[in-house]
Structure 1
Amino acid sequence: MQQPKKNKTYTPKEALLKAAAYCAYQERTQQEVRDKLYTYGLEPDDVEELIVKLCAEKMIDEERYAASYVRGKYGLKKWGRRKILQGLKGKRISDYCIKKGMKEIDPEVYWENLLHLTEKKMRTEKESNPFARKQKITYFLQTKGYETDLIQDALKELEGKGN
């Protein structure tokens, strides 16, 4: 029978180097780094001390993380504000950093993303009942995190074009 894998324990100095490499690979939140440091078998005081050092050296920067997260989710995945906000809260990012990150959203690009998704869904939705069809498209866009009033505006605009 195979033994469960034991995590290697590190000294705080070794852990700092490992954590710095972990942070250099991609943006991380304090919580992600904290969780990683605990897997190294460190004491809570050592973990918090290393978090402070990494923040001081700008290896961890939650404002930068939030901005990067927002750019990726709305730019590449075309998520709406509500879903992005929930994602950041789920990562335990402070309200201050969330506000700073959300400023990355360009309202014009955001609207274009919504129109693009709406148009795409209107082309692929098979429902023939107009009411049920509109409901399904609205639900889809809500799951992407878009606000209901904007969804209604997008639907009106595209229905006006005869899509």
Structure 2
Amino acid sequence: MKKLYSFGLHKTEVDEILGWLIESNYLNEERFAILFAGGKFRIKKWGRIKIRQALLQHRISNYNINTALNNIDELAYMKTLQRLASVKWQSLKTDTVLVKKMKTTRYLLQKGYERPLIVQTLSILAFP
């Protein structure tokens, strides 16, 4: 809409063009949300919380956000979380388990993963 208004178009013309784009499936919020969530998860290894926040910033509806997050494969999600936790755990040179747990938890929270899943994953890592 902003781009169309920047061309000097009036509201009726903008509405007509947007209607046509939506009708022709060029603009599809659900498709955008699914592809955005999948890409951020696969490429940047983001968790669901961070993806949700990014989609909210794009003003995507809650229905489409939930649809996009449900399209993320649960098994791949858990494997990614475990891999990230393991790599971070191995990279820490600290001797104490408590400090390693704290730093790894903070890292995974920053990546957008859910705290209960992090606790579950770290319990396996810390005490195999």
Q: What TM-score, normalized to structure 1?
A: 0.72
Tell me, in whole angstroms, the C-alpha distance in 2 between the residues paired with 1:53 and 1:36. 16
Please identify which structure carries the higher helix content.
2
2:103 corresponds to: 136
2:81 corresponds to: 114
Q: Does 1:95 align with 2:54?
A: no
* Worse overlay, 133-142 or 108-117: 133-142
Shift of 1:108: 0.6
Q: Which runs of 4+ in 1 moved over 3 A?
A: 126-129
Tell me, in whole angstroms, the C-alpha distance in 2 between the residues paired with 1:126 and 1:37. 54
1:22 corresponds to: none
Name which of 115, 119, 123 aligns with 1:152: 119
1:15-69 alpha-carbon deviations (Å, 9 max, x no partner): xxxxxxxxxxxxxxxxxxx232233232333223221110001000111111101
Residue 139 of structure 1 aligns to which amino acid in structure 2?
R
* RMSD value, Cα: 1.5
Question: Identical aligned pairs, as a percentage?
Answer: 37
| Aligned-partner SS, 1:146 | coil
Tell me, in whole angstroms, the C-alpha distance in 1 between the residues paired with 2:94 and 2:11. 55
Q: How many residues align?
A: 128
Shift of 1:92: 0.4
1:83-119 alpha-carbon deviations (Å, 9 max, x no partner): 0111111100111111211121111100000001001
Residue 126 of structure 1 aligns to which amino acid in structure 2?
K
Tell me, in whole angstroms, the C-alpha distance in 2 between the residues paired with 1:99 and 1:135. 30
| Aligned-partner SS, 2:71 | coil
Q: How does 1:12-161 map to 2 (within 5 A)?
A: 34-161=1-128
Structure of greater relative contact order (alpha carbons < 8 Å, 6+ residues apart): 2
* Gaps in structure 2 of 5+ consecutive residues: none
| Aligned-partner SS, 2:89 | helix
Q: What TM-score, normalized to structure 2?
A: 0.91
1:118-149 alpha-carbon deviations (Å, 9 max, x no partner): 01111112334432221111011001000011
